[in-house]
Amino acid sequence: MSQQSPDPNQPFVPPPPPSPYGNSLYPPNVLASKAAAVASEVKTALILSIIGLFCFGFIFGFLAFRKANEALETIQIYEVAQDKKSLAMTAKIIAIVDIVGWIIGLVLRFTVLSR
């Protein structure tokens, strides 16, 4: 591919200025609100997953898993609150432990303890 030199008879047209919002496609107020929403979702997911370890593991685990998933999706789409990503993953893992623990407890309840 050869690059053509500009036509000397045409006036110079400068390139457009860079976006005032940086590299993001979204304005700063949208990014700030999404970052606040992520922080809230992560906090809720972590609380639900920890409570789920002690009671109602299946219900709280499922709710925590969904909240953590929503937070991770928002972090990935809007590229905000990257520092909350590890907390969201932690909440998701604890939620999975909640659900699996509930299932194991249910199986043990009906097999071993029903003798």
Separation between Cα atoms, residue 89 and residue 85, nearest integer Å: 6
Q: Going by C-beta distance under 8 Å and a sequence separation of 6 or more, which residues neighbour residue 89?
A: 68, 72
Structure tokens at 36: 């606040």
pLDDT digits (tens, 9 = 90+) for 36-88: 999 999 999 999 999 999 988 889 999 999 999 999 999 999 988 899 999 99
Q: Are 71 and 88 in contact (CB under 8 A)?
A: yes
Distance from the Cα of residue 19 to its chain's centroid? 26
pLDDT of 93 above 90: yes
pLDDT at residue 74, rounded to an integer:
94
pLDDT at residue 97, rounded to an integer:
95
Q: Are 41 and 87 in contact (CB under 8 A)?
A: no
pLDDT at residue 25, rounded to an integer:
79
